[in-house]
Amino acid sequence: MQHKDIKKIIILLGIPGSGKGTQARKLVERYNYTHISTGDLLRALDSDPEADPVDKQMLEDMKTGHLVADTLIYKLAFAEIKKQLDDNRGVILDGAIRSVEQAKAYHDFFEKEDVLDDVLVIDIKLDNETAYRRLTKRKICSDCGHIIPFSQKNEDIMTCEKCGGVLTVREDDNDETIKLRLEEQGEKMIAPIAAYYDALGVLQTVDGSLDIETVDGTVIDVLEA
């Protein structure tokens, strides 16, 4: 099906558990874009036996709920974005920007790639309590890393719908680390980034507390407006 032309670079902002990954996967299906989740890239690095040990050492921060070094994020994310843009394919960036400093570094990168006019940012708003509830109940596939968001429909699922792998709990989805992530990567972290993009005139906001399909509908409306 043909869809209206949308921006090539869609940046999803939101606190952990706000549904960035879930919405990104829906957009990938609809627009045939590539989903770039820095969290997924970092977890893939962690399970790659051939990865650079210096890079792997930096993942300790992730396991304890802290942000990892900017240099590692830029190395992983910029290479992936460039590859997709060179293939003339759009990207959905999920959790890729977690400070104003990072936002500025991405801005410089987009300027260099001559795609600044092709950026749209969507902030998926959610309160901490709902996020906490979702994070304690979601599952991840131990084989392919697919994340299964919490919903009544998914409550009793034990195997991955994509690859049949066994579902487990993400290493950083335990009570203590979730609380720390919501503190460090919550609205306090998002607000200045959203303000930065608002000043650039590229920010849209959606209500992430509604059910998955409703949020998806709103995101599509925003993209195709």
Could you give the residue numbers annotated as active site? 20, 98, 138, 170, 181
**CA-based nearest residue to 65, from 94, 42, 49:** 42
Separation of alpha carbons 139 and 148, rounded Å:
5
Cβ distance to ligand AMP smaller for residue 75 or 217: 75
For ligand AMP, the nearest residue by Cβ is 39
DSSP state, residue 166: B
> Minimal distance in Å, beta carbon 68 to ligand AMP?
4
Cβ distance to ligand AMP smaller for residue 56 or 66: 66
> Minimal distance in Å, beta carbon 62 to ligand AMP?
4
Separation of alpha carbons 10 and 38, rounded Å:
14
Beta-strand (E) ranges in 43-200? 91-94, 119-125, 139-141, 147-148, 167-168
Cβ distance to ligand AMP smaller for residue 180 or 217: 180
> Minimal distance in Å, beta carbon 32 to ligand AMP?
22
**DSSP β-bridge partners for residue 10:** 92, 120
> Is residue 20 within 8 Å of residue 14, measured between CB atoms?
yes
- Residues in contact with ligand AMP by the rule CB under 6 A: 16, 37-39, 42, 61-62, 66-68, 73, 95-98, 102, 172, 181
Separation of alpha carbons 35 and 10, rounded Å:
10
Cβ distance to ligand AMP smaller for residue 3 or 83: 83
DSSP 79-111: HHHHHHHHTT--EEEES---SHHHHHHHHHHHH
> Minimal distance in Å, beta carbon 225 to ligand AMP?
26
